Amino acid sequence: MSSPAQIKDLNRRESSDISADSALSAVNYIREGKGTPALMIHGLAASLHDWDFLAPELAAAGYQACALDLLGHGESAKPSRLEAYTAQGVYDHLAGWIDSLNLSESLILIGHSLGGYLALLYALRFPERVRALILVNPFYSVRQLSPILQLVFKRPLLNTSIIERTPYWLFRIVIDVTSLRFGGGEDGMHTLPESVRIQTALDYKRAAAGIYNIPRTLRDLTPDLPRVTMPALVLWGERDQSLAPGSFSELVRTLPNARGKAIPVCGHVPHQCHAQLFNRLVMEFLTDNVIC
């Protein structure tokens, strides 16, 4: 598995503007390799660094690996208006970026959590452009959330000042605590490597506070899922504390052409806590379903 240092050497960072108002539309992204395009979409409060372990393997295997910072995340545009942070706004930012890549062939979409929702939405709107889907602990219905979170997200996000003032060290403590390993018979105290925990805390700190309005605007995709007919792989952690793990096997049964696998002793980010296994499963799926 590539180290973070190797990843930084491999990735070629780019940016693009997808509308006349560049300050509100700028997209930070990486693009490496040649071949069938594989576009990676991170989850809420994350960044393109979510794919630091997968992107080099895709490029080395003959795919064009692309990953972006979503609206309000990483080094992409961060509008000041709270109204900009809706599911439709983030989707439009993503779709504009995809158009700006000027891809000449159908693509593979890889999405985690919120990124899974966006990948499904894009596949529903442009099925002819999507060759295959890889969905990682994907969000697709409010029913996946706990009753407490459902209640929280029913309320409007009015005051973001507390989020904006939260220091890095507090984000780091939360991430370290939630990544502690409880059993499982493996070495190490944490399920996430140190480099990932550092980057995750940085991503939380630099994200615009308005992104926490996005979950309040997501719609239930369940009725539309039978129309997602391209080959799909669903991977998830059995110990996800953010979304109900049972919802992922339900998704596999609902999608017409899907296979799925649960990864034990793993939570919401299997692509980071079990990167080697995750990458192998992805590459096996692509070998079976995609000619790069």
The string of pLDDT tens digits covering residues 57-87 is: 999 999 999 999 999 999 999 999 989 999 9
Q: Give the residues across from 190 on adjacent strands.
A: 180
Q: What is the DSSP letter of 83?
A: G
Q: Pairing mode, if any, of strands 232-237 and 130-136?
A: parallel
Our measurement of the distance from residue 150's CA atom to the centroid of its chain's CA atoms, rounded to an integer in Å, reads 21
Q: What's residue 24's pLDDT?
A: 55
| C-beta neighbour count of 257 within 10 angstroms | 12
Instruction: Write the pLDDT tens digit of every residue in 142-154.
Output: 999 988 888 888 7
Give this prediction's pTM.
0.89
The angle formed by the CA atoms of residues 196, 197 and 198, to the nearest 5 degrees, is 90
Distances in Å between the Cα of 251 and the Cα atoms of 118, 143, 232, 233 are 15, 12, 10, 10
Average pLDDT, the chain: 88
Tokens of 206: 């630099």
Helix, strand, coil fractions of the chain, as percent rounded to 5: 45, 15, 35
Look up residue 6 and give its two tokens: 């190797």
Q: How far apart are CA 271 and CA 236, in angstroms?
A: 9
Q: Are 59 and 32 in contact (CB under 8 A)?
A: yes
pLDDT value of position 165? 84
Dihedral angle, C-alpha 95, 62, 137, 270, nearest 10 °: -140
CA 231 from centroid of its chain's CA atoms: 19
Report DSSP state, residue 70: P
Range of lowest pLDDT (41-50, 143-152, 201-210): 143-152
Residue-level pLDDT at 1? 36
Lowest mean pLDDT among 16-25, 137-146, 147-156: 16-25
Containing 66, the helix (H) or strand (E) segment is: strand 63-68
What single-letter DSSP state applies at residue 52?
A: T
Task: For 4-289, give the CATH class.
Answer: alpha beta
Q: Are strands 63-68 and 130-136 parallel, antiparallel or unpaired?
A: unpaired
Per the CB < 8 A criterion, the answer to whether 31 and 40 are in contact is no
Question: What does the pLDDT look like over 228-285, one tens digit per residue?
Answer: 999 999 999 998 988 999 999 999 999 999 999 999 888 899 999 999 999 999 999 9
Distance (Å) of CA 96 to CA 44, 72, 100, 116, 140:
19, 15, 6, 17, 22
Q: If residue 173 lies in a helix (H) or strand (E), which one and from where to where?
A: helix 168-178
Q: How far is CA 117 from the centre of its chain?
A: 9
Number of CB atoms found within 10 A of residue 123's CB = 23
pLDDT of residue 9: 34
